[in-house]
Structure 1
């Protein structure tokens, strides 16, 4: 039985969806003004695994991951580049999809955009005003009245009094309380704007997610996810808005993945340790990046360094080597491994423990390969099936082992390597051991590892 850690209750709970057999899940997606970085990759991979595993557990899953396509950062970047904001966002939505596809991230059920939900945003703001949770300021802005919502702080555990003591109203703000936040911003020169009952303007960031999630999944749904940095104020504000507008509990289970650190330091552009997904993929395969993300529990910090990526490459090499040269067969046997894998995943999606089970399974496949190929083939299919729940081991073993770090970086083609191996075989047949050793050394220097066995010589890239 699946148990997950609920950030709303701060404890692990048995998962019971609001509607039997179905799961409705919303995850805060990207604000599309730049390329995806490693933090975005973690969010996408973490909740892709949740999506895959819920489906594999028999649930019908509606998975919504929004796209924020209007906010201050988007407007500023579009102005810097001298392009319409919609042109900028379409460029980076396309880039996001390319990166997600490379990482093996399944497309969500839907990816709503904020700009396509102005009707729902305006309707929710209107209800908040009618319910006494929002007010219109003299400058045309509309603010949420935090004092009106007695449960404010229930997700983050923050005290309203403490927050207020440390806050201040910025010059020019028309809000009544420093904790109040904007639902609608009056139009400014040279900014995109939409008509509203309060004058032309655009929505605040927080209201966008409340409007999109409730439109897609209803007033109450099962899981809301995102990065830990969104817990406060974004998700706290979503609760206040949604429950203030509908009068119903917003989300049953809140999940947040941990922060990404680079060599044990916080990732930030100012520190010069900020990596986009594409920069990392210049040196490592996408599957290696995905595997690396799964080696830490989703709620724990993820520390990026090249050693961890190298370890991910070595681990995948072990899995693909175990499956190499084995005929395809239906998945059968391995009940103990399947049970242990599911126990790990049912324990709050414990992917490190699930990967440890896969290592044990690969070890058993290697033990069986030489004397019971049929049993090994059945277990290899189990390994691939379980790996598929994590979004790994999707490649052909030969393609992976011979494929190089990434496309375009190979110094030796497969044909050249095969020719050198044949030359080494010829040298050994002629008992020219020095030449055979020289060829092997040349291949090793090029990162090519030879493996001599009963069936001949195979090779892989190191």
Structure 2
């Protein structure tokens, strides 16, 4: 699948280099230094299910992991970034049926809209952008391997035989979320699980291959005609495109905090049964964005869409500043005043960059890079730039070329083109 285009990550001014990056690991509940070994830092971020993209919650997540890419690069590391697109799944098929649309056309249209939003927000594209449908040749062999280990079993039904992963086969199951079994069961059904299905060995076991249903897309395979489950899709794509067999655990598995369980828990366990080691060195999760007192979500329909803001004439850099003003791990609620504050900040910064000479920049560069290396503290970085922009040296005393330095810093570290 084609990703979007990008002007690239930009270059830090002069010989600047950032510190090694620390991120909050959901599995341990604390900060972990993300220092990649030999080769590139390896990042997998779960992508969209393309039936209604891109709301501010989506955008906040992908901007967060864009900051991680940039912080790694500032510290001198190359990055290998992989993202999926769940272009066949129940929510997509349900939306297509409800709106009398062809599911493939719906998926492609919304994926293309997502691409254009990411381009506008200057989010660095993945090196591999992989749809679930095109990943079926990777998913089927992985499920076959899981069958060989005895960790996948059959559950019969009126439409044929489905295959389920037995979570008990991973001794580390539960370590990604740290949740109790009771907490897991409380949300499993609402997050794509089927805990009450007859024939399952454990209510938490998850589907890896679904037999063909009448009127739904399906593909021939040695597993029978059907389609893959959600969790194994990401396991298979990440293991292949981030070469887990050769390099071991990936550096970061990322996504929104609503993916901690079951999605990241399940996808990690499926990989760990085969690989014998932790799937990711760190599990990093972005907070949820709300509107009118509830989490912004496609199922609720309470969405602020990036594309509609852009169509209304909003500067994409103001939208990006709006997102950067909130720490990536925080839950927050969108209000129109946030966007107005971002517009005003953007105007102040542009006015400061238009000066012939500005305040000294050496400390600014160092402190911004330090803030972003400290668990991607974008609000702290923005406050530092605010201070620089508000400091107007007496005539004739400013630092020549300071605007060029700050523009390069904002481009490379925060993804802002000013």
Q: Does 1:379 align with 2:379?
A: no
Structure 1 position 334 matched with structure 2 position 355: no
- Over residues 185-204 of structure 1, what are the superposed CA-to-partner deviations in whole Å (9 max), with x where a residue is unaligned? 01011111111223200001
Confirm whether residue 230 of structure 1 aligns to residue 251 of structure 2.
no
Partner residue in 2 for 1:191? 216
> Out of 306, 327, 335, which is 1:277 matched to?
306
CA–CA separation in structure 2 for the residues paired with 1:268 and 1:96: 15
Q: Report the CA distance between 1:171 and its aligned residue.
A: 6.6
- Give, in angstroms, the shift of residue 72 of structure 1: 0.8
- Secondary structure of 1:112's aligned partner: strand
1:6 alignment counterpart: 25
Is 1:60 aligned to residue 87 of structure 2?
no
The reply to whether residue 244 of structure 1 matches residue 244 of structure 2 is no
Residue 176 (structure 2) pairs with residue 155 (structure 1): yes
The answer as to 2:132 corresponding to 1:114 is yes
| CA distance in 2: counterparts of 1:303 and 1:167, whole angstroms | 25
2:234 is equivalent to residue 209 of structure 1: yes
Matches within 5 A, 1:79-90: 79-90=97-108
1:259-312 residue CA offsets vs partner (Å, 9 max, x unmatched): 102255433568764221123332632111110111111111132111111111
Indicate conservation of the 8 Å contact 1:207/1:241, yes or no.
yes
TM-score by length of 1: 0.78
- Structure 1 residue 182: Cα displacement: 0.4
**Higher relative helix content:** 1
Give the TM-score, by structure 2 length. Answer: 0.86
Once the two structures are TM-superposed, the CA of residue 230 in structure 1 deviates from its matched residue by 0.4
SS at match of 1:318: helix
Q: In 1, Cα distance between the equivalents of 2:199 and 2:371?
A: 51
**Corresponding residue to 1:367 among 393, 398, 402:** 393
Partner of 1:320: 350
Q: Which runs of 5+ in 1 are unaligned?
A: 396-462
Deviations 1:396-450 (A, max 9, x none): xxxxxxxxxxxxxxxxxxxxxxxxxxxxxxxxxxxxxxxxxxxxxxxxxxxxxxx
* Aligned-residue offset at 1:53: 2.2
User: For 1:433-452, what aligned pairs fall within 5 Å after superposition?
Assistant: none
Aligned counterparts of 1:226 and 1:105: Cα–Cα separation in 2? 15
Tell me the residue number matched to 1:259. 288
Residues 392 and 145 from structure 1, CA distance in 2 versus in 1: closer, same or farther, beyond 3 angstroms? closer
- Give the count of matched residue pairs: 387
Contact 1:35 1:276 survives alignment (8 Å)? yes
Distance 1:162 1:41, change over 3 A: closer
State the structure with bigger RCO (CA 8 A, min sep 6), 1 or 2.
Answer: 2
Q: Is the alpha carbon distance of 1:48 and 1:270 closer, same or farther for their aligned partners in structure 2, counting shifts above 3 Å?
A: closer
CA contact (8 A) 1:361 1:379 kept: no
Q: Which runs of 5+ in 2 are unaligned?
A: 1-19
1:229, distance to aligned residue in structure 2 (A):
0.4
**Alpha-carbon separation, structure 2, partners of 1:350 and 1:103:** 19
The structure having more radius of gyration, on CA atoms, is 1
Measure the CA separation in 1 of the matches of 2:164 and 2:205: 6
CA distance in structure 2 between the aligned counterparts of 1:143 and 1:176, rounded to whole angstroms: 9
